[in-house]
Amino acid sequence: MRSLAPSGVKTLSEESGSPEANRNGGGDATGDGADGETELTHTDDEGEVQMVDVGDKPDTARRAVAAGVIRLQASTVAAIRDDEVSKGDVLATARVGAVQAVKHTWETIPMCHQIPITNVETDFELGDERVTLEVAVETTGKTGCEMEALEGVTTGLNVVWDMVKAAEKDAEGQYPDTRIEDVRVVQKQKREL
């Protein structure tokens, strides 16, 4: 797949030199305790769930890329490739679903902030028995957009499944060959404005 990173943007690991800083997202959902251990910030001192207060954080340009795979029968992938699925254009529909999911992430993940989405890119790759989806999300604000990228991937792949489920069912109506897997954040970046 092609790289979706714009030139001149450093990843968090490049900025800090620390893989832990990249994993923990620069303090968006976790923080370093006095003893150097990571503490959760989506809970208050009494252990109650809370939304993280990002009001004092500076606005930054942020980008997150997530990816995932749906495993399908080879004949189903061929039908997608040849636009022969009876429900319509699978990838075009999945692209719309992914973008819609990105824009509505704050409504489905309870502690997510509503953020201004400035750009969404989707990239599909067809293999012999798989469809890979990569979703890149960009925002300018006080918190990251990796949850939005993950929501885009999972919903986009769910839309693929919905579009091809008639072809994937076996004689008992089950899906023995169909599965979504390897959903992950591929890249997270932050740039001071």
Among all residues, which ones are annotated catalytic?
Answer: 162
Contacts of 13 (CB under 8 A, 6+ apart): 19, 21, 22
Tell me the C-alpha distance between 66 and 115, whole Å: 17
E-strand stretches of 17-129: 30-32, 38-40, 60-71, 117-126
Please list, in sequence order, all residues whose beta carbon lies within 8 angstroms of the beta carbon of residue 26, skipping any fewer than 6 positions away: 12, 16, 144, 190
Residue 1: how many CB atoms within 10 A of its CB?
12
- Under a CB-based contact definition with an 8 Å cutoff, are residues 177 and 70 in contact? no
